[in-house]
């Protein structure tokens, strides 16, 4: 190469400066862009999770598996055991640990809140549901059918969680977004508003879901493990019942009963099986699951079978005498849904609704909504003047009694007697199942007399009844973390 | 324009990244073009001319054609020149130019390869100069290094005068207007300053490598300096020190050698990790590892996920220590701020060996030796053990029964096995071979080295851990010395087969009367029920954790001198690691009385990263001082992925390594993350007469680990140094002071060691399918405002040299405050989660003193004795933590106390009546069952950082013989070994003999409470409380003879006869002796039930051909 003679001194240097300056300017401006790393391949970012059907399906599966894994799926601190301990259903072996004991003796306090994580789990599920509810409508990649399905499901889940929150705690913070900065300091919302939200969510879900049970891809499924419109109706019927809106309760329960999708099984041992025709909504367990339901794991290994019931017993729960004695002679539910074991001359009864401990595959699923309840909901609404009135109520009670191998209702036809019969039927049909007994006692106002009067249930358990115990206290750490959150009245 | 492109493509961040790559590629191409141009234009410097009355411009053209020099002139100047007549052949261009311009009205100067033509100096200037008595001359010369290679950028100045210049890429310099009898001073980094009388042609001046360690080159961030000129706090460890130690991980060689650097070895298992910390813990909850850089390229020290029993494998264990030329430890703001967000915890710069010009030679180094576990824990013998067990059972109110005491009923209580010896008493073999060939000429140097290292274990069945590695370096400098290229690559392959567990942990505590672990036929007894200890640790001979790791480190350093003052360069690096593990449990290793199937766990872990750092440096020397300016940018991307899969149900051992043959496969986890990082940085260094030095550093960082709101952040520092010993007043009066420097710096650095994606709102796969669909659940609450933890570092130091620098003393004081701590804040569950990651204003202060003293004690004839001493005393303190009550740290951290100090029970003693440990309750009463919430009333000493630590090394050499030893010491608090075990003495495990003499009956005054073997006994409760009392913290100070090395180098006449360049034999010992008051086990590891750091003895030879 021939070298050149430059007439312009330093032009090379100048050029380099310009080039370098350009390079660094480019570098400078692209700095910020460059550091935006895409989310990890093994994660989905919130931005993308509701962007298409498949990812949204995974997030919805996340909601159900969260339910199944934690307190909504059962077990210690779950929806059956904690309220069962509070009410007159579960007896506790004396050596059981502290958390169960305070619940059992109705001696809860801010420093001794109820065992388990129901509060935490509810709000975690509500967070997930809120993420879905807030993101799905604006999703561009999801199809309309799946959007409707998932939005309906998420609204239903949110309502289901608030149902338990409002019943356990009374006024609770009503969280409808995922913005933690805003939510972290929310105060309690009046329970009336929470109920309004529950009903509004369910009404919206009614319009979004169909009667057919489907899977996450919208394809018809033989399992009843995602809520359909009847599940929404069933929960709505219950919500109206709790709010003494008898006519709407009757209407919604009738919707379920008239849907023709469910049957009351005459073989009681089949009721809690996976895919049971009596299941309005169950939670699926993974097919490779070694163990069946967590409630089953608690009850099917009662204290005596395990280690003589020492202080370390992991399964110190059995059925209270009150509950055992509530069954009428010949009640198949006592035969098929109650089992017993005798240790040192004492017979302990334990629930036997879930009958198998081991899989795989699991043969039983946690029951979230059951058809039989709808008869009792409608009966109660009718007994209070809705629908066909007292005769209708008796007919519905008899449907349940007939299946239990009992004679038809033969008591007087006055409202009080019929309502008492309904309460009794609820006690023995829905025992130790998703807290029905505890919530029934509370909503009917029976709680103070059943638990409270001298010699009554609370005293039997070794506690002293105080009416404030109807609602559960919130843990101190929650109050500390949210300065606007107040303790449950009375605590 | 480019910005617009980015904005339009808002969604396509990756497209943007690609674009940058493109830009970089383009830049590289540009560079290459320039290089080609340069090579093509490289001609001889000799010129032949034969012209008669030729216009001078024509002559320029001829010279230009021949020599490749450019002529820069203005036409008007040249018009005035006289025609030229010349007849010369093959003459140096400089002489040609002198003749050409000798009688002309124009003058010239040479800048690089340009001849700049200008009109001759005007008369007035001449008149001014003529006032002075002496004549002015033009001084020229060429500066070379010790190997005759030209040194560009050397400083040439007139002593006590103003004229200053630097040598060009050919080493040539010219100083004009120099007084004839003045002295020229030539200095260059790493070389001895040379003073010569000024003459007009000084010829070739060969500089000598600096002998004074103050002038030895130190690698710093994006450059080099010397201790003399350094403003920052940088400590260096050289290859020689590393070579004296038979270590597999270079960190081990640094332990105790560097002030402010605290290294703690974990266990004696091969590949185990080291705790590394520079100047105290800076972060409450996040990483405090230093930033590692190898040859200018950041090295990701993410522990590789591994099923190895030693825990995660330290990536530095894959770097062959013998490939390392030097290590610089950067500590203060001045040294680290240019690394910005990643250097809050200091930086460790590793420079690998490079080829050197000269005769090609072959270096061979062979080392072989043994390693032992120091058998320094004495366990109870059978008699003592049986006595303890009987007392324990009696204390618990039980009677001896086989159900819980087979050791007393079923075993032969006269039998005794020393299980410590049985399991860890074997010699591990150590073998190390290093071969390298290096050499090259003036322009190209190379080094290629291969190493093989093998290490086995001290367990009863020996498995070896081999590591093979290659190291390659090629350095090329263009003929004109303007372009430099250095390519370095290292590749290592390690494969290990180790038992799944640390057998020391598994076996040493067996009851000493345990029946033989072998069957009568010599096979391993696998029937657990028979042995009462399931599984038999010998089964781990078959139950192995296998790991194979391949690691590539490569980098390219480029630089091009655009002009004498301006240099464009780039560091480009690529690292990759692949690790495959499996943890096999064959049927043959399982109890045959159960029909069990085999299982295997397969783990893979891959990381890769690339980095590109274009840089521009500009240096200028004038009479007003010297400036060096560096600007650069960083683009970096790291990806890692891994998975862990369990395979169960194997019915045949033959197929157990085939995942497909497993009836049941379960994915435990998969992970894939990406980390992106970019930065702009700059440094301005100004020095005046090498006496006053000022440094400014700046960095603007962007990291993908932070939220969108805070992705960009600035860091910076200012530092200054004053060579007060160069002041005339000191020079004249304190003649014994040969060197004196004061330095100080202040600046900010950050730490982004918080893991990837912590700011983001992510859903992760929870592993539970629903209706056959994989489920994802939210990972936590996002926080788009997450940002760096920030550390403000303040340091001052004084460095003194006495007696011609034979005594060098440095003292530094540092004061670092780290704030903006990234922690979790408690939230109410109504938000969906109980906490969120947030920056909290908690401030941690680390302050301390560091001293080093290096002395040449004796240097007479053949004998010399050198000593080097360092001492560090640091204090860590949680200075403030507003709002601590609402964090998970309430109750575990206390403002005003160091991190690592715990709120504990106040221990009293063993109650002579109850025989239980007793504590002072909050109510002032003694109790053996204190309440965790209320009775913890005192703070323990922190175990996180020693009160002080350091080391002292002595080297004696006499002729070819060299002896050196290194002692390290630590004054620290450790865990009381008597309370380390989960269970108190009395359970079925053997315990050290220090547990004898427990309380037996009321009235006994004892140090050990009554034995127990029940989890529900009062003694167990009291033991657990003691573990959370101040009694659990004891003095664990020690002095250790860490290293002893004796080497003999053959004398030169023998070497010549043998046609060798060098021949050396050596003996080395590591971890030889420990002096400590710590009673059981190693005071550094503080866990006598795990394999302690091993003791090593090796011998070796090295030869150079």
pLDDT band at residue B1016 under the 50/70/90 scheme: confident
pLDDT band at residue A4 under the 50/70/90 scheme: very low
pLDDT at B274 over 50: yes
- Measure in Å the smallest separation between the Cα of A251 and chain B Cα atoms: 32
Cross-chain residue pair B764–A43, CB shorter than 8 Å: yes
pLDDT at B124 over 50: no
Show the beta-strand stretches assigned E in B623-711.
625-650, 664-688, 692-703
- CA neighbor of B971 nearest in space, from B994, B951, B956: B951
Contact B953, B966 (CB under 8 A): yes
Residues within 8 A of B (CB atoms), A 6-25 only: 6-7, 9, 12-13, 16, 19-20, 23-24
Cross-chain residue pair B760–A186, CB shorter than 8 Å: no
State the pLDDT at residue A259. 95
State the pLDDT at residue B301. 57
pLDDT at A279 over 90: yes
Chain A residues whose beta carbon lies within 8 Å of the beta carbon of residue B6: 29-30, 33
pLDDT 10s digits, A17-58: 555 555 555 555 555 566 666 666 556 666 678 888 988 999
Angle subtended by helix axes A436-443 and A415-429, to nearest 10: 160
State the pLDDT at residue B245. 87
- Measure in Å the smallest separation between the Cα of A379 and chain B Cα atoms: 35
pLDDT at B262 over 70: yes
Beta strand B136-144 pairing with B201-206? parallel
- 0.90 exceeded by the pTM? no
d(CA B76, CA B74) in angstroms, rounded, equals 5
Residue with the larger pLDDT of the pair B708 and B794: B794
State the pLDDT at residue A312. 37
Cross-chain residue pair A226–B771, CB shorter than 8 Å: yes
Cross-chain residue pair B676–A27, CB shorter than 8 Å: no
pLDDT band at residue B901 under the 50/70/90 scheme: confident
Cross-chain residue pair B828–A19, CB shorter than 8 Å: no
Average pLDDT for B908-918: 94
State the pLDDT at residue A37. 61
- Measure in Å the smallest separation between the Cα of B675 and chain A Cα atoms: 6
d(CA B480, CA B717) in angstroms, rounded, equals 37
Which residue on chain A is closest to B111 by alpha carbon? A10
Give chain B's count of helices (H) and strands (E): 17, 53
d(CA B689, CA B693) in angstroms, rounded, equals 9
- Measure in Å the smallest separation between the Cα of B600 and chain A Cα atoms: 19
State the pLDDT at residue B32. 39
pLDDT band at residue B533 under the 50/70/90 scheme: low
User: Which letter, b or e, does each residue of B581-599 get, where b requires 16 or more Cβ atoms within 10 Å of its Cβ?
Assistant: bbbbbbbebbbeeeeebbb
Percent of chain A with pLDDT over 90: 65
Cross-chain residue pair A31–B761, CB shorter than 8 Å: no
pLDDT band at residue B615 under the 50/70/90 scheme: very high
pLDDT 10s digits, B808-841: 999 999 999 999 888 888 899 999 998 888 888 8
pLDDT band at residue B15 under the 50/70/90 scheme: very low
> What average pLDDT does chain A have?
87
Residue with the larger pLDDT of the pair A199 and A2: A199
- Measure in Å the smallest separation between the Cα of B968 and chain A Cα atoms: 43
The rounded radius of gyration (Å) of the Cα atoms in chain B is 35
Q: Which of A13, A59, A66 sits opposite B566 (nearest CB)?
A: A13
pLDDT 10s digits, B275-331: 889 998 888 888 788 899 988 888 875 555 555 555 566 777 778 899 999 999 999
d(CA A86, CA B11) in angstroms, rounded, equals 54
Residue A209's SS3 state is: coil
Contact B747, B338 (CB under 8 A): no
SS (H, E, C) B923-953: CCCEECCCCCCCCEEEECCCCCCCCEEEEEE
Chain B residues whose beta carbon lies within 8 Å of the beta carbon of residue A124: 829, 832-833
State the pLDDT at residue A2. 35
Contact B291, B278 (CB under 8 A): no
Cross-chain residue pair A49–B763, CB shorter than 8 Å: yes
pLDDT 10s digits, B26-65: 444 434 333 333 333 333 467 778 888 888 888 888 887 7
Chain A residues whose beta carbon lies within 8 Å of the beta carbon of residue B755: none
Cross-chain residue pair B771–A120, CB shorter than 8 Å: no
pLDDT at B22 over 60: no
Compute φ and ψ for A136, nearest 5 degrees. Answer: -60, -45
Contact A394, A415 (CB under 8 A): no
Percent of chain B with pLDDT over 70: 92
Mutation site for B-interface testing, chosen from A32, A40, A117, A281 by largest number of B Cβ within 10 Å: A40
pLDDT band at residue A468 under the 50/70/90 scheme: very high
Chain A residues whose beta carbon lies within 8 Å of the beta carbon of residue B768: 65, 68-69, 286
State the pLDDT at residue A156. 98
Mutation site for A-interface testing, chosen from B831, B889, B933 by largest number of A Cβ within 10 Å: B831
pLDDT 10s digits, A405-421: 999 999 999 999 999 99
pLDDT at A423 over 80: yes
Average pLDDT for B537-562: 88
Residue with the larger pLDDT of the pair B21 and A281: A281
Mutation site for B-interface testing, chosen from A61, A225, A474 by largest number of B Cβ within 10 Å: A61
Residues within 8 A of B (CB atoms), A 198-217 only: 215-216
Chain A residues whose beta carbon lies within 8 Å of the beta carbon of residue B762: 39-40, 43-46
- Out of A218-232, B522-536, B743-757, the most confident range is A218-232
Beta strand B1062-1076 pairing with B1038-1049? antiparallel
Q: Check if A189 contacts B (Cβ < 8 Å).
A: no
Q: Which of B675, B830, B885 sits opposite A173 (nearest CB)?
A: B830
pLDDT 10s digits, A360-393: 788 999 999 999 999 999 999 999 999 999 999 9
d(CA B199, CA B842) in angstroms, rounded, equals 65
Cross-chain residue pair A44–B71, CB shorter than 8 Å: no
- CA neighbor of A247 nearest in space, from A357, A369, A385, A146: A385
- CA neighbor of B170 nearest in space, from B36, B42, B358: B42
Residue B749's SS3 state is: strand
Q: Which of A6, A36, A42 sits opposite B765 (nearest CB)?
A: A42
Give residues with Cβ within 8 angstroms of B650, minimum separation 6.
Answer: B586, B587, B597, B598, B599, B600, B656, B661, B662, B663
Cross-chain residue pair A29–B771, CB shorter than 8 Å: no
Q: Which of B712, B828, B832 sits opposite A482 (nearest CB)?
A: B828
- Out of A304-308, B142-146, B739-743, the most confident range is B739-743
The rounded radius of gyration (Å) of the Cα atoms in chain A is 28
- Measure in Å the smallest separation between the Cα of B463 and chain A Cα atoms: 36
> What average pLDDT does chain B have?
84
Q: Annotate B125-177 with DSSP letters as a single string.
A: HHHHHHTSSSPEEEEEEEEE-TTS-B-TT-EEEETTSS-EEE--TTSEEEEEE
Residue B99's SS3 state is: helix
- Measure in Å the smallest separation between the Cα of B750 and chain A Cα atoms: 17
d(CA B749, CA B846) in angstroms, rounded, equals 14
Q: How far is CA A231 from the centre of its chain?
A: 13
Which residue on chain A is closest to B42 by alpha carbon? A1
Q: Check if A39 contacts B (Cβ < 8 Å).
A: yes
Mutation site for A-interface testing, chosen from B21, B828, B832, B1014 by largest number of A Cβ within 10 Å: B828
Long-range contacts for B1-7 (Cβ within 8 Å, ≥24 apart)?
B2/A26, B2/A29, B2/A30, B3/A29, B3/A30, B6/A29, B6/A30, B6/A33
Start-to-end C-alpha separation, chain B: 59
Q: Which of A34, A127, A175 sits opposite B676 (nearest CB)?
A: A34
pLDDT band at residue A470 under the 50/70/90 scheme: very high
pLDDT band at residue B462 under the 50/70/90 scheme: low
Q: Check if A455 contacts B (Cβ < 8 Å).
A: no
CA dihedral B305, B310, B311, B314 (to 10 degrees): -60
State the pLDDT at residue B36. 34
Contact B205, B195 (CB under 8 A): no
Residue with the larger pLDDT of the pair B799 and B754: B799
Percent of chain B with pLDDT over 90: 34
Q: Check if A124 contacts B (Cβ < 8 Å).
A: yes
State the pLDDT at residue B569. 92
State the pLDDT at residue B43. 39
Residue B200's SS3 state is: coil
- Out of A123-127, B762-766, B982-986, the most confident range is A123-127
Start-to-end C-alpha separation, chain A: 94
Q: Check if A480 contacts B (Cβ < 8 Å).
A: yes
Compute φ and ψ for B1076, nearest 5 degrees. Answer: -155, 155
d(CA B775, CA B767) in angstroms, rounded, equals 7
pLDDT 10s digits, A128-162: 999 999 999 999 899 999 999 999 999 999 999 99
- Out of A183-197, B477-491, B1010-1024, the most confident range is A183-197
Structure tokens of B177? 């207007």
Structure tokens of B637? 């991307």
d(CA B745, CA B211) in angstroms, rounded, equals 28
pLDDT at A243 over 90: yes
pLDDT band at residue A97 under the 50/70/90 scheme: low
Rama region for A345: left / alpha / beta (φ>0; ψ in -120 to 50; rest): left
Question: The tokens 């009677």 sit on which residue?
Answer: B399
pLDDT 10s digits, B396-432: 888 887 777 888 888 888 999 998 888 888 899 999 9
Chain B residues whose beta carbon lies within 8 Å of the beta carbon of residue A47: 761
**Burial (CB count within 10 angstroms: exposed 0-12, middle 13-18, buried 19+), residue B691:** middle
- Lowest mean per-residue pLDDT among A92-106, B192-206, B339-353, B910-924: A92-106
Q: Which of B2, B73, B711 sits opposite A35 (nearest CB)?
A: B711
Number of neighbouring beta carbons within 10 Å of residue B645: 18
Question: The tokens 């998970």 sit on which residue?
Answer: B888
Beta strand B863-880 pairing with B926-927? unpaired
Q: What angle do CA B367, B371, B374 make, to 5 degrees?
A: 150
Q: Annotate A221-243 with DSSP letters as a single string.
A: -SS--S--HHHHHHHHHHHHHHT
Residue B784's SS3 state is: coil
Cross-chain residue pair A65–B641, CB shorter than 8 Å: no
pLDDT at A308 over 70: no
């Amino acid at each position: 190469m021939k070298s050149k003679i430059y007439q312009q001194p330093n032009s090379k240097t100048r050029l380099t400066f310009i080039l370098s300056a350009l390079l660094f300017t480019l570098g400078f401006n692209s700095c910020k862009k460059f550091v935006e790393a895409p989310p990890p391949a093994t994660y989905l970012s919130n931005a993308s999770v509701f962007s298409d059907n498949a990812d949204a399906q995974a997030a919805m599966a996340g909601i159900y598996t969260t339910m199944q894994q934690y307190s909504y799926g059962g077990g210690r601190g779950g929806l059956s055991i904690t309220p069962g301990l509070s009410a007159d259903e579960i007896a506790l072996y004396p050596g059981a640990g502290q958390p169960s004991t305070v619940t059992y003796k109705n001696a809860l306090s801010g420093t001794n809140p109820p065992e388990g994580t129901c509060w935490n789990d509810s709000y975690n599920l509500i967070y997930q549901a809120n993420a879905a509810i807030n993101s799905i409508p604006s999703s561009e990649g999801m199809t309309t059918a799946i959007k409707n399905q998932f939005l309906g499901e998420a609204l239903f889940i949110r309502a289901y969680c608030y149902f338990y929150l409002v019943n356990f705690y009374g006024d609770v913070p009503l969280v409808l977004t995922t913005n933690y900065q805003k939510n972290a300091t929310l105060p309690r919302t009046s329970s009336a508003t929470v109920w309004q939200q529950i009903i509004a969510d369910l009404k919206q879900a009614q319009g979004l879901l169909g009667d057919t049970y489907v899977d996450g891809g919208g394809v018809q499924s033989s399992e009843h493990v995602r809520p359909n419109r009847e599940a929404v109706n069933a929960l709505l019927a219950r919500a109206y019942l709790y709010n003494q809106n008898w006519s709407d309760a009757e209407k919604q329960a009738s919707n379920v009963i008239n849907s023709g999708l469910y049957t009351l099984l005459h073989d009681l041992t089949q009721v809690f099986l996976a895919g049971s025709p009596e299941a309005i909504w169950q939670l699926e367990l993974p097919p490779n699951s070694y163990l069946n339901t967590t409630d089953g794991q608690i009850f099917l290994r009662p204290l005596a079978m395990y280690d003589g019931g020492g202080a370390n017993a992991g399964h110190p729960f059995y059925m209270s005498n009150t509950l055992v004695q509530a069954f009428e002679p010949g009640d198949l539910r006592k035969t098929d849904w109650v089992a017993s074991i005798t240790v040192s001359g004492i017979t302990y009864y334990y629930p036997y609704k879930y009958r198998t401990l081991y899989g795989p595959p699991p043969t039983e699923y946690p029951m979230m909504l059951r058809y039989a309840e709808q008869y009792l909901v409608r009966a109660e609404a009718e007994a209070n003047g809705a629908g066909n009135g007292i005769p209708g109520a008796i007919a519905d009670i008899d449907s349940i009694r007939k299946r239990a191998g009992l004679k038809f209702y033969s008591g007087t036809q006055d409202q009080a007697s019929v309502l008492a019969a309904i309460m009794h039927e609820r006690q023995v049909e829905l025992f130790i199942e998703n807290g029905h007994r505890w919530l029934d006692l509370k909503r009917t106002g029976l709680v103070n007399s059943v638990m409270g009067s001298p010699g009554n249930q609370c005293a039997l358990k070794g506690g002293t009844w105080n009416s404030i115990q109807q609602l559960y206290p919130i843990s101190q750490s929650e109050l500390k973390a949210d300065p606007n959150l107040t303790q449950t009245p009375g605590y | 324009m480019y910005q617009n492109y980015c904005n339009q493509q808002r969604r396509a961040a990756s497209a943007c990244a690609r674009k940058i790559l493109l830009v970089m590629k383009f830049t590289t191409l540009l560079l290459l073009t320039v290089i080609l141009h340069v090579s093509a234009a490289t001609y001889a410097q000799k010129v032949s001319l034969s012209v008669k009355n030729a216009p001078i411009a024509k002559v320029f053209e001829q010279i230009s054609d021949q020599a490749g020099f450019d002529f820069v002139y203005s036409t008007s100047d040249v018009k005035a020149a006289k025609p030229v007549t010349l007849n010369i052949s093959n003459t140096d261009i400089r002489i040609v130019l002198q003749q050409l311009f000798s009688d002309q009205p124009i003058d010239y100067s040479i800048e690089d390869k340009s001849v700049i033509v200008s009109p001759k100096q005007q008369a007035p200037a001449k008149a001014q100069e003529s006032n002075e008595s002496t004549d002015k001359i033009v001084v020229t010369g060429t500066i070379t290094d010790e190997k005759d290679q030209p040194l560009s950028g050397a400083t040439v100045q007139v002593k006590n005068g103003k004229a200053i210049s630097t040598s060009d890429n050919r080493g040539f310099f010219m100083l004009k207007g120099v007084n004839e009898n003045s002295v020229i001073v030539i200095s260059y980094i790493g070389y001895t300053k040379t003073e010569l009388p000024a003459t007009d042609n000084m010829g070739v001046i060969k500089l000598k490598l600096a002998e004074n360690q103050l002038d030895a080159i130190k690698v710093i961030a994006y450059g080099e300096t010397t201790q003399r000129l350094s403003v920052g706090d940088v400590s260096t460890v050289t290859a020689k020190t590393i070579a004296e130690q038979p270590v597999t991980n270079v960190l081990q060689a640094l332990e105790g050698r560097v002030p402010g650097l605290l290294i703690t070895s974990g266990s004696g298992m091969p590949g185990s990790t080291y705790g590394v910390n520079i100047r105290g813990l800076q972060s409450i909850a996040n990483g405090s590892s230093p930033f590692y850089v190898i040859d200018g390229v950041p090295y990701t020290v993410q522990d590789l996920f591994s099923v190895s029993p030693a825990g995660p494998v330290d990536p530095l264990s894959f770097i062959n220590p013998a490939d390392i030329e030097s290590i610089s430890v950067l500590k203060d703001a001045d040294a680290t701020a240019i690394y910005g967000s990643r250097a809050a915890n200091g930086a460790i710069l590793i420079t690998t060996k490079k080829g050197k010009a000269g005769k090609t030679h072959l270096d061979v180094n062979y080392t072989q030796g043994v390693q032992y576990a120091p058998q320094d824990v004495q366990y109870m013998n059978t008699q003592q053990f049986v006595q303890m067990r009987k007392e324990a059972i009696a204390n618990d109110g039980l009677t001896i029964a086989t159900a819980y005491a087979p050791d007393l009923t079923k075993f032969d209580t006269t039998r005794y096995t020393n299980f410590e010896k049985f399991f860890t008493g074997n010699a591990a073999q150590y073998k190390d071979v290093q071969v390298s060939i290096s050499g090259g000429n003036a322009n190209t140097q190379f080094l290629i080295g291969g190493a093989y290292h093998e290490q086995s274990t001290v367990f009863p069945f020996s498995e070896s851990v081999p590591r093979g590695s290659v190291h390659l370096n090629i350095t090329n400098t263009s003929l004109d010395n303007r372009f430099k290229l250095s390519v370095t690559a290292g590749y290592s392959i390690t494969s290990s087969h180790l038992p799944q567990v640390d057998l020391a942990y598994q076996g040493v505590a067996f009851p000493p009367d345990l029946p033989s672990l072998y069957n009568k036929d010599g096979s391993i007894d696998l029937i657990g029920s028979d042995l009462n200890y399931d599984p038999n640790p010998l089964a781990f001979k078959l139950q192995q954790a296998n790991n194979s790791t391949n690691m590539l480190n490569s980098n390219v350093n480029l630089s091009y001198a655009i002009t004498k003052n301006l240099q464009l360069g780039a560091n480009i690096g690529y690292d990759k690691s692949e690790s495959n593990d499996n943890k096999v449990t064959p049927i043959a290793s399982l109890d045959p009385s159960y029909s069990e199937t085999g299982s295997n766990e397969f783990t893979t872990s891959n990381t890769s990263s690339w980095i590109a750092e274009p840089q521009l440096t500009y240096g200028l020397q004038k009479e007003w001082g010297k400036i060096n300016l560096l600007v650069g940018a960083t683009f970096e991307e790291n990806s890692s992925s891994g998975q862990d899969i369990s395979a169960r149900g194997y019915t045949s051992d033959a197929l157990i390594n085939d995942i497909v043959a497993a009836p049941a496969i379960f994915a435990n986890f998969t992970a894939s993350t990406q980390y992106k990082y970019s930065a702009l940085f700059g440094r301005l260094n100004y020095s005046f007469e090498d006496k006053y030095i000022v440094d400014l550093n700046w960095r603007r960082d962007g990291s993908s680990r932070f939220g969108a709101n805070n992705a960009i952040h600035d860091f910076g520092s200012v530092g200054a140094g004053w060579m007060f010993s160069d002041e005339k007043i000191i020079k004249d009066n304190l003649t014994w002071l040969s060197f004196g420097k004061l330095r100080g710096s202040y600046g900010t650095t950050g730490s982004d060691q918080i893991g990837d994606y912590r700011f983001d709102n992510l859903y992760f796969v929870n592993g539970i399918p629903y209706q056959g669909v994989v489920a994802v659940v939210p990972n936590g609450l996002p926080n788009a405002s997450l940002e760096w933890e920030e550390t403000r570092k303040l340091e001052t130091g004084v460095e003194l040299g006495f007696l011609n620098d034979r005594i060098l003393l440095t003292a530094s004081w540092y004061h670092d405050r780290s704030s903006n701590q990234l922690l979790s804040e408690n939230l109410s569950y109504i938000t969906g989660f109980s906490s969120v990651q947030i920056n909290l204003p908690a401030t941690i202060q680390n302050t301390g003193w560091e001293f080093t003293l290096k002395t040449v004690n004796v240097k007479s004839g053949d004998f010399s004795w050198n000593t080097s001493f360092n001492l560090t005393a640091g204090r860590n303190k949680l200075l403030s933590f507003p709002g601590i009550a609402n964090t998970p740290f309430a109750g575990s951290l206390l403002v005003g106390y160091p991190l690592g100090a715990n709120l504990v029970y106040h221990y009293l003693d063993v109650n002579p009546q109850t025989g239980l440990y007793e504590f002072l309750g909050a109510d002032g009463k003694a109790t053996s069952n204190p309440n965790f919430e209320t009775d913890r009333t005192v703070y323990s000493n922190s175990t996180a950082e020693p009160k002080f630590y350091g080391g002292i090394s002595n080297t004696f050499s006499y002729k070819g013989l060299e002896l050196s030893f290194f002692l390290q010491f630590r004054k620290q608090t450790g865990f009381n070994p008597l309370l380390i075990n989960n269970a108190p003495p009395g359970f079925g495990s053997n315990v050290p003999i220090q547990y004898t003499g427990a309380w037996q009956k009321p009235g006994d005054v004892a140090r050990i409470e009554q034995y127990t073997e029940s989890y529900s006994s009062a003694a167990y409760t009291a033991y657990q409380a003691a573990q959370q009392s101040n009694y659990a913290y004891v003095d664990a100070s020690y002095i250790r003879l860490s290293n002893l090395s004796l080497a003999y180098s053959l004398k030169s006449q023998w070497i010549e006869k043998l046609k060798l360049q060098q021949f050396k034999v050596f003996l080395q010992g590591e971890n030889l002796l420990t002096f400590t008051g710590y009673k059981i086990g190693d005071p550094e590891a503080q866990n006598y039930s795990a394999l302690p750091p091993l003791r090593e003895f090796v011998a070796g030879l090295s030869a150079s051909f």
